[in-house]
Structure 1
Amino acid sequence: MRRLLAALVLLAIAPGTAFAAGDPSVRIESVKVTPGHASLVLTTANVDGPVQVTAGKTTLASRATPISSAKAVTAPTRAVILVLDTSGSMAGTGIAAARQAALSYVNSLPGDVLAGLLTFSDRPRLVVKPTTSRNSVRNALARVQASGDTALYDAVRAAADALASTQLGAGAQRRLVVLSDGVDTSSKATLGSVTGRLAAGHIPADVVAFRYGNGDRSAAQQIASAAGGRTLTAQSAPELTAAFAEVARNFTTRSTIDVLVPDALAGQRVSLRVTVGAVHAETTVTFAALTPTSTPTPENAAVPAPPPHRTVWTWQLLALLSGVFLFVLLGVVLVRWQGVREDTTRQLLHQVGQYGPRRDEHAATEAEGAAARTAVGFVGQALRSAGAEQGLARRLDLADIKRKPAEWALLTLCAAAVLVVLAMMLGLPPLLSVPAGLAGGWFLQFAFLSIRISRRRAAFSEQLPDVLQLIVGSLRSGFSVAQAVDAVVRDGTQPAAGEFSRALAETRIGVELEQGLNHVAERMESDDMRWVVMAIRIQRGVGGNLAEVLKNTVDTMRERAQTRRHVHALSAEGRLSGYIIVALPILLALFMTYTKPEYMRPLYTTPAGLMMVAGGALLIIIGAFWIRALIKVEA
């Protein structure tokens, strides 16, 4: 393939060669062959008509598509720099005519041609590097002003160097269009060095001599003839515009010719002829051989079995997991519905039993579903065997969730099953989906219970000053401490009423009231409640006015709560900044992974990327703790 491409490059006409003005021409710039297909880049000038491609005597099916700037990457790059004289002799009508002619030239260029602008007076200045943005050149032309001497040779050399430094790739076509109204007066470069630079770089320069009159045009002609350019003269603005239009014909519209290669010509070296109207171009091409799609199999050879249909297997597994999830969910719903029905039945039996004969309570339990009993019993036995039932029951009690540990564990399994299904639908392998789903389900239930517990304890702390105020009022009315606590229970404000009810229930089985209240403080993790218990114990030991002590405690609590809320408000900006700083890199990484996976893939597929991710995660964790320490104020 490399030898073929090299031969095609040698056969192609050099991209720096210009078409003669008005002569119809066709040129094949490049050829790319693939099995059953060939693609040609064709340049035409001053010719119109249908395109016909033949290989010897065989006419090939073809389709021509003009190359726009968006598709120019399929063909050799073309670039031109407009070298514009802005010396003092061009002031007035001269610079206006030059600006208008240059604008028409830029507008007439094909979209794939890179256009740049270099102005010169005392010294050259590259205003716009070669680009496909025509607006950049237009805006630069609108700002040119005329003043100073003429450094023509320096400008041509600088433009040639700018084209050479631009990364255009092999086979690129480079040209200069020079507009000047007089001979050089202030260049440091010599005419010989400039023509040598153009010839060495194969950069043709078309020179437009504007208002030369009887002046010496030899320098302009030598610059133009150094690499195959032309010299055009213009004495007025219309002639200048016509000269630029003539020069613009060097860059004609190119087309991509897609050719279908018959099987009979596959792998053969042929003379390819492209005809447009009455003009044609030829090149020698070796078409690519067809790749075998199948090989004969001997009769006694074993035919390999087709690979398993992974899509069907995946959906079968998803269906199985969905069915398991539905069965488990049905069991949990049945258990919950049965529990509610049993509670309602017992209340009705208790009310009716006061006035009539009692009916057998076992009749209600006979209707409980066998599947629900089996599921709850199995999960409960597993929790007891693991020693986790008591701990889960305590957390459920603290979160005020009226469910048995076995029922809660079943709900956790249901959530885990949902996460497993979602992970597999996202493409995660089953061996990773199952443990990831189980871990995710456990984490969700743990986070949910922790949030419920923390909110309940916070609510208890908020209610405690009002509860103590009620106890103070009861004590001043002559009630005992136990009676005052009972008044709090009858008030029914949750969660304070439920927790103090536990303390009263413990006193009925022989536990001292102070100890029961201390249990409440431990369950709610309330330092304020511990102070209340301490005050009650001191009052019982040494005597005194307990109501007054509790009143002072309430005032202190309320002042501390007010200070805490004030500090919370003052630190809101810091907390918000911490949330944003911690969440921003994580969310940005997730967004980039979703939108540009190929950009983020090296982070988790290479050792260096994994080290960077680990280091970034460690820095985020350290920063989160640091910000938390900065904004945390003990009130």
Structure 2
Amino acid sequence: MSVLVRLALGVLLATAGLVFWGVADADDVTVSSVETAPGRVGLVLTTPDLAADRVEVRAGDVPLTARVTAADRLEADAPDRGVVLVVDTSGSMAGERIATARRAASGYAASVPADVRVGLVAFADTPALLVSPTTDRAALAAALESLRANGNTALYDALPVAVAALDGVSAPRLVVLSDGQDTSSRAGLDAVTGLLAQRSVPADVVALASDDPALGRIAAAGGGRVLPAAEVSDLAGAFAAAARTFTHRTAVEVEVPDALAGRTADLTVVASAGSRSVTATVPVTFAALPAPPAPLPPTWSLELWLLVIGTFSAFLVAAVLLFGLVGRKEPVPLEDRIERYGPRRTRPVAPEQGQVARGALSVTDTLLGGRADAIAARLDLAGMTVGASEWALLRLCGAVVLGVVAALAVGNPWIGGPAGALAAVLGTHLYVGFRIGRRRSAFQDQLPDVLQLVAGSLQSGFSLAQALDAVVRDNTQPAAGEVARALAETRVGVDLTDALDRVADRMACADLRWIVMAVRIQRSVGGNLAEVLLTTVTTMRDRAQTRRQVRALSAEGRLSAYILVALPVVLAGWLLLTRYDYMRPLFTTAIGWVLVVAATVMVGLGALWMRALVRVEV
């Protein structure tokens, strides 16, 4: 055979060896403990000689995301595996032999799977159990470093000690290292081989430069094998071959897309370590996705809802009929009796109340208790003629009706009902606040004209009270009504400046407070009050003009602030209505809630900052 032919055959055999070494036989690879759950599959891959550190999984032709998980995911019923290293430390092992044996045994312990418990028995003149089978590789390494070679060989006595150390292990094994014949054991070869066969303990015998037939009998007794090591340098390879007798178990977690939920497919698992890989296929039926929660069924029938709507609509009508057509008149209030002695004004005639209306108002008054006065004062400040009990009854009826309408619109009475009632209560409260603000702003705008009229009256020779009465007769609301209230208080003994102070407090008017202070100073030291008022009017008008000019100049900034603050809110609301699935992670995940809170805080801080920029005090 020529040299080229030999070279070609060598390359071919080497390539075939690499191929068969790189891919394990699929028959030796098993998949077990397959657990399916919505969105995931867990399994355990058992390989004959591969500690996988990465996996690839396909369902048919669809690649799936997979990862190797912790060892506690492995089968709970996996066998308890243990091995005892029986190492010859007789004098013939001294020098390089014992040092190489220590390194080879350490490599063996590092190569076997982590769940395999490894023990150590050393024998020379007598055997000694140095380490009971354990998964603590550090303790084993320390014991191996303590091995020293001297004395004779008691191999047959060491084997029963090693077998006894494996009591309770469901899958026991021995790895025996010896370099010669037994010279000092009390036990015989037949007794040792009989024990191994009886206990079904296979022994892999590493024969270092020895062809003793007793080593072959020891290996054959329990179903082990002889691993020859002609030279000391062959020990590492022999121990590595012994380590490959253990199978490796790898826990794999697979993510399943929603498109595969409920389907059956062949799951192909490719586990790799370095350049080696193994493949296994198992049919799997993926778990179906959980059914979406059913909408809350309506707790009330349609007929009952219609009955509720009709009942509360009738109740609302009864509340509106507070101004009934038949009934006795209420006593004349004290304020009306006082105003009989002041300027004549046309007042709306209070309608008479019916019996049902009076009963409803009586119950409402009882429920309001001490809050009735505060509500009445707020309504009066807003310029509303309705009473406190009437307003509370109207708010209640409106809350009930709007709650029923919202519940029907939403389809869930436990959400729509409270939301509608809350909207009605807040809406009425904001309505009163809006009327109060508008009335105070109108009073502020009318004050210069009122002071101009008072100053003209004073220059004509009228007293301050008479000048204020001229304002009342002019009947420009709300200024005329507030001044009339102050004059009515003076007729029962209240000082005019104190009455005007109360008007300033009601209207939140700082300018009127300064006017009252000027009147008090004029009363104390004298002077021309008309001239003071005219100067004040000029100042107030100039300041009002400046305020309007500032508002005109800052209108663009205020509009920008409104748009920037409203834009994220409006956009979020629109996306919630049209793309709820897109927005759902914001309200169903922890990071989503963090983002919502952060966005709310940032928008609030931005609104405050822009408000400070566009707000100019004049």
Q: Which TM-score band (shorter chain)?
A: 0.3 to 0.5
Larger radius of gyration: 2
Q: TM-score, normalised by structure 1?
A: 0.46
